[in-house]
Amino acid sequence: MTAGDCAEAIISDLGIDSPEDVDVDAIAFDAGLEVIYEPTVGCEATLVGFENRGIATINPGPVVGRRRFSVAHEIGHWHLHRGRSFKCRVDDADNNLASSQPLEKEADTFASHLLMPGPLFNPRVDSGKYPDFDVLADIATQFKTSLMATFIRLATCNRLPVVVACYGNDGRRWTLFAKDIPKRWFLKRKVDEDSFAYDLLKSGKERRQHGKQSADAWFENDDAGNFELSEQCVASFGGRALVVLYLESAMLEAQPDWNNYNGGK
């Protein structure tokens, strides 16, 4: 059972059928995990476990989404990595996605599925039209999650042909492809001058609605100019750009690109 399956099984066992009912404190309590909110030093959350009792200490920051993700992340460690203690930088995709810490990634995956379980999340992105940022912000409000966590879930739920990525002036920080996107597409390491994200990084101009874009603004492949995609981007912390790309269906059916068969991720 994957970390995501484990989280969703808990939601199902508790009979939770709406986002408002995902009460992370109650879910922790039910699992024998006490949650304390007090300032932490050098991390966002800690978990200390002893036999069947654990204490999660959560930094009581002002952002509800981050706080909930922290609790869910520690519940993940509690279920998946029993017997160990953790100091975590939670809901920090910059570190957790870009790093190779498998236990942190697992706890993040667990948290993502606990807060946004597929049976509740998927219908909200399956409405027929690809969700723009306003729709995604509305979904984040319903699930009480951060925008970044919601974007990441949008990619991992694999319902739409979407790529979510984070770029800084120094290049790509991390990227997530929906699983069904062919492996032949190689995302550029640097933001292209023709992309909307370039304008965002240079002049702070966000693009919250779908913007049509030639795929060669984003992909290295020689034939990328034959395809189109939709690009949106918003500012993230540290002066970075969070990017959501929806690929047109022809990109999913494109033949293998032997010129770029180099694993160039």
Interaction site with Zn ion (CB under 5 A): 86, 88, 104, 107
Nearer to Zn ion, 110 or 177 (CB): 110
Distance, CA of 43 to CA of 225 (rounded, Å): 44
For Zn ion, the closer CB: 106 or 216: 106
Judged by beta carbon, residue 107 or residue 181, the one nearer Zn ion is 107
Least distance in Å: CB of 107 to Zn ion?
A: 4
Distance between CA atoms of 98 and 151, rounded to whole angstroms? 16
**Least separation, in Å, of the C-beta of 19 and Zn ion?**
23
Residue 144: name the closest of 237, 18, 35 by CA.
Answer: 18
Q: Choose between 19 and 76: whose C-beta lies nearer to Zn ion.
A: 76
Q: How far is the CB of 182 from Zn ion (least distance, A)?
A: 32
Of residues 112 and 213, the one with the C-beta less far from Zn ion: 112
d(Cα 70, Cα 87) in Å, to the nearest integer? 11
176 three-state secondary structure: strand
- From the list 42, 57, 47, 58, the residue with the least C-alpha distance to 80 is 47
Neighbours of 245 (CB within 10 A): 27
Output the smallest distance, CB 13 to Zn ion, in A. 23
Q: How far is the CB of 25 from Zn ion (least distance, A)?
A: 18
Q: At residue 6, what is the residue type?
A: C
What's the CA angle centered on 79, arms 78 and 84, to 5 degrees? Answer: 40
> What does the DSSP 8-state code read for residue 53?
E
Residue nearest to Zn ion (CB): 88
* Residue number, 33 or 88, with CB nearest to Zn ion: 88
* Calpha distance 169→92 (Å, rounded): 19
Q: Supply the Cα-derived Rg of the chain in whole angstroms.
A: 19
Pairwise CA distance, residues 35 & 17, whole Å = 23
Taking the complex as a whole, the smallest distance from the CB of residue 222 to Zn ion amounts, in Å, to 41
